[in-house]
Every structure is written in C-alpha cells, then in structure tokens.
Amino acid sequence: MNLNFAQEVPLSWYLILSAILFSLGVVGFLIKRNLITVFMSIELMLNGVNLSFVTFAQQWHEVKGQIFVFFVMMVAAAEAAVGLAIIIAVFRARATLAVDRIDLMKL
Amino acid sequence: MNGNLYLWLIPALPLAGFLINGILGRRLPKWVVTAVALLAPLAAFGLVLNAALGFFGFIPAASSLPYIETCPQAWINIAALHIDFSFVLDQLSLVMLLVVTGVGFLIHVYSVGYMGDDEGYARYFSYLNLFLFFMTVLVLAGNALVMFIGWEGVGLASYLLIGFYFQKKSAADAGKKAFIVNRIGDFGFLIAMFLLVSNFGTLTFTEIAAKLGMDPGWHGGVVTVIALCLMLGAAGKSAQLPLYIWLPDAMEGPTPVSALIHAATMVTAGVYMVARTHVLFDHSPFALGVVATMGAATAIFAATIALVQNDIKRVLAYSTISQLGYMFLGCGVAAYSAAIFHLMTHAFFKALLFLAAGSVIHGLGGEQDLRKMGGLWKKLPVTFAVTTVGVLAIAGIPPFAGFFSKDAILYAAFQQGIYGEILWGVGIVTALLTSFYMFRLWYLAFLGESRSPEIHPHESPWSMRGPLVILALLSICGGWIGIERFGAFLAPSVGARAAEASNWSLAIPFTSLHLSLEICLVLIAVFVALEGWMIADKYYRRKPERPARLAADFPGGYKLLAGKYFVDEFYGATVVKPLLGFSTYILGWVVDVGILGGAAWLLGGIATFAGAILQRWQSGNLRSYAAWLAAGAAAVLLFLLVPWATVLANLPAIHLSMAGH
C-alpha cells in the first residue's frame, strides 16, 4: 500500500473539495423546494465537513478527527431514520413535500 | 410598685371589635354585632377606670404616674434616631382617656338605638370601634410619631363616618372635604416632626421637654416655627380659623358620630396635642399669642355664624367650633389645665346636646330644620329635660359644668395684661352670643307651639335616653371638681406655670383684691349668660316676629351671617377653583395628556415601528433563516480570515492588557 498517496495530494485540494461539497449542500438547502432534496443537501454538508475532519486527522496524525467522523456518521444515520419518518408522515398528511407549503406553524 | 396596667389593651380591644365586625359583621347575628361593639369600649373604659381608681387611691395602685409602656422591639432605629412604640399614661392622658372611652362608650350605647334600623349597622360599629382604636393610640402616644398614627387614623375614621351615607353626594363630598382640609393641618404636624428630629434628635415628648429645660437658650426662632407648625396641625384637626370649614359639613354623618367625633373627642385632639407639647409653646411667647388670638377669633367668628343657622346640627357644629376656640384661647394664655378642663366639660355637654339633637331628629323622622319644630317639650320630655341641662351648661350658668371651665379660661386670659384683657372681652362677647344662640335653639325646638302639626314625634328608646341622662348628670356635676383641684392634678403633666395660672383661688387670700376681681369677673360672666337668655326669650318667645324684622332691617348683615361670611365661596374662588383649573388644564391636559401621554405614545410608536421592520426577519420561511445563517457563518469566516478584522477582534484584549499594567 502506498502510504505516500496522502503526501502526494496537497492538503488544500482536500479542503477545497470539502468546501465545494459543503457549499453545494448549502446552496441545495437554500434553493430546493422538495423536502427530500433539502434533506439530502444536509447530508452533503455533513459529508463535506467529514472530509475536512479526516483530512486534518491525516495531516496531524491525530485519531480524534477519525473518531469524530464516526460520530457524525452515526448521528447522520439516526437523523436519516427520524427525518425520513417525519417526511413520510408529512407527506401522508399534506400530500406534498414542497417546503414552502408546509407552513402551518407560520404566523 | 410598677405593676402592669396593660395599656396596649386599651387600643387593642376596639381594634379587635373593628376587625370582628368589619370582616364578619354582615354574617353575624345582630346581637353579636352589638355585643362585640359595646364590649370593646366598655372593657377599654374599665381598664382606664382601673388605672384611674388606682391612682386616686380607691383601690391598690398597680403603678404610679406617669406610667410608660414600650414595645420591647425597637420600632425605628436609623443612625442616631431611635423611636420606640411607646404608650404613656400620665395625668393628662388619663383625663383624656376617661373622656374618650367613657363618653365613647355612652355614644356606642346610644347608637344601638339610633342606628338600629340601618342596613350598615355592623359597618357603622366597626368604624366607630376603629375610631376609638386610633383615638386611644393618639391619646396614649409617648412620642409624636405614635401620636401621628392616631392623628391620621382618627382622620380616616372621621372620613369614613362622615361619608357613612355614601350614596348621598353631599355626604361623600363632606367626607372628602374633611379629609382634604385636614391634610393641610397634617402637613404642619409633619413639618413640625421633621424640625423636632433635626433640632432635638428625638420625638419623645419627655425628652424634648428635658432638652428644652436643660438649655434656657431655646427661645423663639426654631421653637416658634415648630410650635406654629404644630398649631397649624391643631387648627386643622380642631377646626380653627382658617381651617374650620370642614366641621359644619361633617354634620352629614350620623348624629352620634357628630357627637363622638365632631364634638367630644376627635376635634379636641388639637387642644390635647398643644397641651401635650406645651413645653414648646411655653418657650415661644409669640406662638402662644398666635394660639390665643386664633382661639379668640375663632370663638367669636363661629358664634356669630351660629346665631342665624336654622339646621339644629349646624348650630351645634358652629357652637363646637366656637367652644374649641375657647380651649385654644386657654392654651394660648398657658392655662393648659383650664383648656383641658373645658375640653372635658365640653365633651360632656356637647355630646349631650348632639345626642339630644339626634333624639329630636330621630323622633321627628329625620327633620333637622329648627323652623319646623316647636312645642316638643310635651312630646319628648326626657329629651327636653336633658337639652335644658346642656343649654344651661354651655351658656355658662352656675352650677352647671360649662360655667366653671369657661370661667377658668376667661380668668386666666384676663391675667395676661392688656392683650389678655382684650381677649377676655372677646370671650365675654362670645359668651353672650353663645348663650343667645343656644337659648334660641331651645326656644325654637322645644317651646311654643308646634310648627309642623302633621308630624307626630315619639320619644326615643331607653338605649338612647340612658346615655342622655348620664351625660346630663355629668354636665351638671362635671364642673364641681373645680379648676383648683383639676389644675393641681394636671400640674405634673402640663407644667407648674399652667397650674399657677389656674390655682388662683387656693393661693390668694380671701380678702385680697384678686378675689374681688375674680368675683367681679364671675358676676360679669353670669350676667352676660343671663342677658343672652333674656334676649333669646324676647326674640323667640315674647315677640317672635322680631327676628324676621331685624333681618329685614339689616339685610346685608343677615345675609353675611346666613351665608357664613361666604368663606366657603371665598376658598372656592381663591383656592379650589385655581387648583381645579391648574389640575384640569396644566396637570391634566399639558402634563398628563401632552407630556406623559405623548412620551408613552412615542415609546410605543418606536417599538411598533422597529417591530414592523424586524418583523420581516421572522418570515417563517425556513430557507430565509438558513440563508441568514449561512450569511452569518460567512461573515464570521471573513472576520477571522481578513487581517484587519483580526485586529478589530483583538481590540478588547488589547484594552484589557493595558488596563492590567
């Protein structure tokens, strides 16, 4: 196994990729109407952050970053379970997933 | 020797009566209300009587006078100022307490009959007990602040009882008037207390007296100011010129209230207060002169108004003001014991007269107009008899009570040089007027033929006649104590100078010039009293058409008197109206609506406007929140990354580190 791979690709590339992923998530979150797409955008942001975690972990030879990623993935999985259940419940009740129309709690 | 007299029980019992009847009165059966209301003052009177008998040596004395009872817990303790909640029983407060609780109890009994059919029976008695509570606090007070509690409290009770028939506008207005006019006097009392604290550092009467006694340099100046402020307070409470105007209106209250509060006890609180603080007045001849002048002026002023009043209670009200003027005249010539003596006899005969008037009003079904009475002696024999006693007593005809006390005051005044002789002259003229208007009342109400044959008067029940008879006996015998014995008894409380002034006939040999002077003065006084009677007899019995003709001959004078010198109108035009205008326009419109209301509107407007703008943020649109969140995060990022932003962020830290050096 070539362990120098990490050394060959500069740190900034990882971080730029991470930022692009995160920004895509943000933009998707902001402009998309479908609740499922919004949800997926959040996952994208989480994974962008995860990428930067592992990058730094590799950079500083620090295992805490790796561990943190596991935590994030675990929470994301739990969130997906709960979130999808909510989405299904909302769809059953309202027959729509457009976030703008789910506004019953609005003033 | 110093056993316990349980002084605190004397006010506490009426207070308990007030609480029981005030809270539960409407749910309790009537006999319970009556029992509670009567037992409270009776028990208080018993306690006072116990102390009095002990002092006079009839029973083993529990304590010697003065007897002081202080609440063990310090009341007010600020810096150098220590004020205890203390009660003092000395000769002065003992006399006053006997009058207050004794006459008070009799009037409670009378009220059982008088107010028997009233819906507010329990309310009435709870107020009456409340009054006794505050009055006893006032009398027992060992310092000015405790006295002030009672002072304000009796004002409250007076307000509640004047406005007892609050559905009637005139009664409610009269209550307010009494309260507001008394505020002016209370203001004087308050200022006097502040001055006492700042100059003497104490409000305790005995300590003030001690400090004044130690330093003979206390003359005039601040003592005069304090005394004049106290006098203003006394003038408000005791209805003296120029603050007497509330008392005639106070007659809107039930008649026993007029007898208890507005004749016998509360209105004499001012006289009592002056006697209590007499050391201050003794050190200020000027203040004494003002008190004497005020008293004499009030006496003759009120007496002239009483000449032409047609409402039986108003005649008595003005007569009360006039008699209070006598008491202040007595105080003003430093004859405190004579003033207190007159206070006591006045409490007897004026309570009697008021209660008798109440009996007449009760018997006539509410009629108070003297012109519609007449010939009542046949229908109301007991009332007639006791009124006769009362009239003779107030007119100063021996051997009735008023003769002795009034004579003592006039004699003391006569001894005070030229000015005293002028005051004596005013007093004698007032005595003539007093005798005249009282006999006028007597003739109009009781003698002659009935002027309202359609009314069938009935004599009052025994609960009313009993107190009348007892008070009549007191009005006959009350003066027989004699001013010498009375003055000697009071001397420890009101000072030797006063005792000296009133101790005259003991000290002076029988054959001396002074005795013949005394006899002369007495003869003049008696002659004047009889003369008043004769004039009344002529005008209201032998030639009943004369008064109307006299009024027609002097229309201006009659109008002036009947209109009570138009003092109410004068105050209305000079004080009430400008004040009302100021309140309505300046305070009401400019300050309240304009400034305060405007400020409130402005603040509200700013909040509304800001809210309208900030409201847009709270759109409820999830994505806009997210966009703000992202923008915020971006801003933080920018802040951290751009170098100058870092400098800005470190500014507070730089400041802190500089401060640390």
Closest residue on chain A to B625 (Cα): A30
Mutate to test the interface with A, among B615, B617, B623, B641 (most CBs of A within 10 A): B623
The answer to whether residues B103 and B347 touch, using CB atoms and an 8 Å cutoff, is: yes
Here the tokens at position B48 are: 């006072």
Task: Using DSSP, state whether B330 is helix, strand or coil.
Answer: helix
**Closest by Cα among B263, B241, B414, B407 to B328:** B241
Give me the pLDDT at residue B654, please: 52
Query: Is residue A32 a part of any domain in this protein?
Result: yes
- Phi, psi at residue B83, to the nearest 5°? -125, 120
CB contact under 8 A, A26 and B618: no
What is the rounded CA–CA span in Å between residue B111 and residue B362? Answer: 11
- pTM of the complete model: 0.76
Angle formed at CA B135 by CA B130 and CA B137, multiple of 5 degrees: 100
What is the rounded CA–CA span in Å between residue B260 and residue B255? Answer: 9
What is the rounded CA–CA span in Å between residue B605 and residue B476? Answer: 75
Q: Helices (DSSP H) in B364-503: which residue ranges? A: 376-379, 381-395, 401-414, 417-446, 462-477, 483-494, 496-502
Q: Which residue has the tokens 């015998």?
A: B477
Model confidence pLDDT, tens digit, residues B237-275: 998 988 888 998 888 889 999 998 888 889 999 999 999
Give A36→chain B minimum CA distance, Å.
Answer: 14
The answer to whether residues B195 and B225 touch, using CB atoms and an 8 Å cutoff, is: yes
Mean pLDDT of B66-83: 82
Angle formed at CA B105 by CA B103 and CA B107, multiple of 5 degrees: 70
The answer to whether residues B79 and B437 touch, using CB atoms and an 8 Å cutoff, is: no
Query: Is residue A106 a part of any domain in this protein?
Result: no
All residues of chain B having their beta carbon less than 8 Å from the beta carbon of residue A34 are: none
Query: Is residue A99 a part of any domain in this protein?
Result: no
Here the tokens at position B85 are: 């909640």
Give me the pLDDT at residue B347, please: 93
All residues of chain A having their beta carbon less than 8 Å from the beta carbon of residue B611 are: none
The answer to whether residues B256 and B355 touch, using CB atoms and an 8 Å cutoff, is: yes
* B631 near A CB under 8 A: no
Question: Who wins on pLDDT, B499 or B612?
Answer: B612
Give me the pLDDT at residue B514, please: 58
Query: Is residue A100 a part of any domain in this protein?
Result: no
Of A72-81, B57-66, B352-361, B518-527, the least confident: B57-66
Of B4-18, B106-120, B356-370, B510-524, the least confident: B510-524
Mutate to test the interface with B, among A30, A103, A107 (most CBs of B within 10 A): A30
Query: Is residue A5 a part of any domain in this protein?
Result: no
- ipTM of the assembly? 0.71
Instruction: Tell me the three-class secondary structure of B66-122, residue by residue.
Output: CEEEECCCCCEEECCEEECCEEEECHHHHHHHHHHHHHHHHHHHHHHHHCCCCCCHH
Contact residues for A68 (Cβ-Cβ < 8 A; gap 6+): A53
Here the tokens at position B438 are: 């009282």
Model confidence pLDDT, tens digit, residues B529-582: 888 888 888 888 877 777 777 777 787 777 887 777 888 888 888 888 888 889
Give B627→chain A minimum CA distance, Å.
Answer: 6
Smallest Cβ–Cβ distance between B623 and the set A99, A105, A106 belongs to: A99
Here the tokens at position B203 are: 């409000």
Mean pLDDT of B46-57: 85
Give me the pLDDT at residue B209, please: 85
Side chain identity at B631, as an amino acid letter? A
pLDDT for B62 beyond 70: no
Closest residue on chain B to A103 (Cα): B620
The answer to whether residues B300 and B430 touch, using CB atoms and an 8 Å cutoff, is: yes
Give B604→chain A minimum CA distance, Å.
Answer: 22
Exposure string of B258-288, with b = 16+ CB inside 10 Å and e = fewer, is bbbbbbbbbbbbbbbbbbbbbbbbbbbeebb
Query: Is residue A107 a part of any domain in this protein?
Result: no
Question: Who wins on pLDDT, B234 or B622?
Answer: B234
Q: What is the DSSP string of A49-93?
A: HHHHHHHHHHHHT-THHHHHHHHHHHHHHHHHHHHHHHHHHHHHH
Query: Can you give the residue range of the structural domain that contains A90?
Result: 11-94
Mean pLDDT of B454-477: 85
All residues of chain A having their beta carbon less than 8 Å from the beta carbon of residue B627 are: 30
Q: Helices (DSSP H) in B141-168: which residue ranges? A: 144-162
All residues of chain B having their beta carbon less than 8 Å from the beta carbon of residue A31 are: 623
The count of structural domains within chain A is 1
Q: Where in B276-361 does DSSP place strands (E)?
A: none
Q: What is the DSSP string of B206-251?
A: HHHHHHHHH-TT--SHHHHHHHHHHHHHHHHHTT-TTSTTHHHHGG
Of A66-75, B2-11, B602-611, the least confident: B2-11
Closest residue on chain B to A99 (Cα): B622
The answer to whether residues B327 and B346 touch, using CB atoms and an 8 Å cutoff, is: yes
pLDDT above 70 covers a percentage of chain A that reads 91
Distance of CA A43 to the CA centre of its chain: 3
Most confident of the ranges B144-153, B210-219, B405-414: B144-153
Question: Who wins on pLDDT, B64 or B328?
Answer: B328
CB contact under 8 A, B620 and A107: yes
Mutate to test the interface with B, among A49, A104, A106 (most CBs of B within 10 A): A106
CB contact under 8 A, A29 and B623: yes
* B616 near A CB under 8 A: no
All residues of chain B having their beta carbon less than 8 Å from the beta carbon of residue A106 are: 620
The answer to whether residues B243 and B236 touch, using CB atoms and an 8 Å cutoff, is: yes
* A17 near B CB under 8 A: no
Cα distances from B335 to residues A67, B290, B412, B415, B656, in angstroms, run 103, 15, 6, 11, 77
The answer to whether residues B65 and B3 touch, using CB atoms and an 8 Å cutoff, is: no
* B618 near A CB under 8 A: yes
**Closest by Cα among B235, B151, B135, B134 to B193:** B151
**Closest by Cα among B540, B531, B538, B560 to B431:** B531
Q: Helices (DSSP H) in B447-576: which residue ranges? A: 462-477, 483-494, 496-502, 504-507, 513-537, 546-553, 555-562, 567-571
Confidence of residue B509 (pLDDT cuts 50, 70, 90): very low
Contact residues for B516 (Cβ-Cβ < 8 A; gap 6+): none
Give A104→chain B minimum CA distance, Å.
Answer: 10
What is the rounded CA–CA span in Å between residue B382 and residue B356? Answer: 9
**Helix pair angle (B401-414, B417-446), 10° resolution:** 160
What is the rounded CA–CA span in Å between residue B489 and residue B337? Answer: 9
Task: Using DSSP, state whether B482 is helix, strand or coil.
Answer: coil
The answer to whether residues B285 and B344 touch, using CB atoms and an 8 Å cutoff, is: no
Q: Which residue has the tokens 């009660």?
A: B87
* A104 near B CB under 8 A: no
* A106 near B CB under 8 A: yes
Closest residue on chain B to A45 (Cα): B630
Compute and round to an integer the Cα radius of gyration of chain A.
Answer: 18
Contact residues for B371 (Cβ-Cβ < 8 A; gap 6+): B310, B444, B451
pLDDT for B326 beyond 70: yes
The overall average pLDDT reported for chain B is 85
**CATH code of the domain in which A18 resides:** 1.10.287.3510
C-alpha dihedral (B514, B516, B517, B523), degrees to nearest 10: 150
CB contact under 8 A, B626 and A30: yes
Here the tokens at position B463 are: 């609960």
CB contact under 8 A, B620 and A103: yes
Angle formed at CA A34 by CA A28 and CA A38, multiple of 5 degrees: 40
* A107 near B CB under 8 A: yes
Most confident of the ranges B374-388, B451-465, B512-526: B374-388
Task: Using DSSP, state whether B646 is helix, strand or coil.
Answer: helix
* A31 near B CB under 8 A: yes
